[in-house]
Amino acid sequence: MRKISILVIFAFFLLGCKQKPVIHPTFYYWKTDYRNKPAETAYLNQFKSKSLYVRIMDVDFNPDVQQAAPVSPIKFSDPVPDGIAIIPVVFIVNNVFNKIDSQQTGILASRIAKFVDDKVKQAGKQNYTELQIDCDWTKTTRASYFKFLKELKANPLLKHKAVSVTLRLHQVKNVVSSGIPPVEKAMLMCYNMGNLRKYGEQNSILDQHEMNLYLKDFLAQYPLQLDVALPIFEWAVVFRNQEYAGISKHISKTVLQNPKLFRQRGNTILFDLLVDYPTAGLKKGDVVRWEEISASNLSTTAKFLSRYLKPEERNLVFYHLDTDLLKHFTHDDFQKIIAYL
């Protein structure tokens, strides 16, 4: 009798424990020229990464030729390191699927498959196992986009390859109107979730309130296998007369700390420009909102996600592989975030 009780307790203990998933950490590479920089490759080695997500090109609608066309395709100055598989990523502007007809959808799928295949070979790889399509589709583009994905999967160049897509928070919550993409898996994009263009003190890169709103009651039921993407980037959002004026590549945190140029508003992330700053194309009175991500932010996000994601093997991808961004995080920071998820 005692043995039976012990077995029952042991079985109950096993059932009560949530299975810890296997996590494969890696990065997005989101530049137009691939160079095998030792400092960046060292992070891949520390992570024991087996793959690297590499942006191949953007695709936008070209009104001059009335069809979708590649924008800023990557070139490979160096090959992707041995032992690291390439996962090509193609970003498609959502409006493309409002502009092209059914015949052009098939043509687009065929051209992307060929372009990607050529670029993968330029990267020094003979093959790849997954192609990711990055598109923030909406209710109006859903039918055309899903048709494109089916055409892509049917292409002979993608035989025995997986097609995955990126997935935004609103597409998880509004699954009835957004639909489920006809693919094997999706990458949950846990960044750019706030209103970038709205004036104020909010951090549009990562917002825990938005995650609660869009994921808490919906993520566990999402039917596709999910990988996860987390941000490590930072940027300077510019406002003029409280209207969004763009993201400045000329403004860094160091520049904002120059008292001759900027004055911080108390302990907020808003900075007032004190003089004209022609180098950056800014004028006196412009306001810069400095948005960045800390290790603590990412740990909180990882803990939140772990409560709702299915306990399955997945890739954890940090956006993006860049030495200037990586210096803000230690190896221990990353390991804690990985462990939480």
Same domain, 220 and 268: no
CATH (domain of 34)? 3.20.20.80
Report yes or no on 18 lying in a domain: no
Same domain, 245 and 226: no
Q: Encode 293-341 in three state secondary structure.
A: CCHHHHHHHHHHHHCCCCCCCEEEEEECCCHHHHCCCCHHHHHHHHHHC
Spatial distance between the Cα atoms of 290 and 248, rounded to a whole number of angstroms: 10
Contact between 155 and 110 under an 8 Å Cβ cutoff? The reply is yes
Give the distance, in angstroms, between the CA of residue 95 and the centroid of all CA atoms in the same chain: 19
Give me the count of residues in the chain. 341
**Domain end among 272, 291, 310:** 291
Exposure class string for 148-163: b at 16+ Cβ within 10 A, else e = bbbbbbebeebeebbb
**Domain end among 291, 308, 328:** 291
Report yes or no on 96 lying in a domain: yes
pLDDT digits over 237-290, tens only? 999 999 999 999 999 999 999 999 999 999 999 999 999 999 999 999 999 999
Exposure class string for 107-130: b at 16+ Cβ within 10 A, else e = ebbbbbbebbbebbeebebeebeb
Provide the pLDDT for residue 20: 77
Provide the pLDDT for residue 242: 97
Same domain, 305 and 315: yes
Same domain, 146 and 85: yes
Same domain, 48 and 132: yes
- Which amino acid would we find at residue 46? Q
Provide the pLDDT for residue 18: 54
Give, in degrees to the nearest 5, the angle at Cα 237 between 232 and 238. Answer: 165
Same domain, 268 and 177: no
Same domain, 124 and 268: no
**pLDDT tens over the chain, length 341 residues:** 454 444 444 444 444 455 678 999 999 999 999 999 999 999 999 999 999 999 999 999 999 999 999 999 999 999 999 999 999 999 999 999 999 999 999 999 999 999 999 999 999 999 999 999 999 999 999 999 999 999 999 999 999 999 999 999 999 999 999 999 999 999 999 999 989 999 999 999 999 999 999 999 999 999 999 999 999 999 999 999 999 999 999 999 999 999 999 999 999 999 999 999 999 999 999 999 999 999 999 999 999 999 999 999 999 999 999 999 999 999 999 999 999 99
Provide the pLDDT for residue 6: 47
Exposure class string for 46-65: b at 16+ Cβ within 10 A, else e = ebebebbbbbbbbbbbeeee
Provide the pLDDT for residue 16: 47
Give, in degrees to the nearest 5, the angle at Cα 13 between 11 and 18. Answer: 115
Report yes or no on 215 lying in a domain: yes
DSSP string, 15-69: HHSPPPPPEEEEEEE-SSEE---HHHHHHHHHHT-SEEEEEEEEEEEETTTTEEE
Spatial distance between the Cα atoms of 21 and 15, rounded to a whole number of angstroms: 15
Residue 81 is given by DSSP the state P
Q: Which residues partner with 282 through β-bridges?
A: 277
Structurally, the chain folds into a number of domains equal to 2
Provide the pLDDT for residue 301: 97
The structure tokens listed for 153 are: 């999967």
Same domain, 178 and 86: yes
Range of the domain at 324: 23-234+295-340
Report yes or no on 61 lying in a domain: yes
Provide the pLDDT for residue 221: 96
Provide the pLDDT for residue 12: 43
Provide the pLDDT for residue 19: 67
Q: Which residues partner with 287 through β-bridges?
A: 239, 272
Spatial distance between the Cα atoms of 15 and 24, rounded to a whole number of angstroms: 25
Spatial distance between the Cα atoms of 192 and 206, rounded to a whole number of angstroms: 6
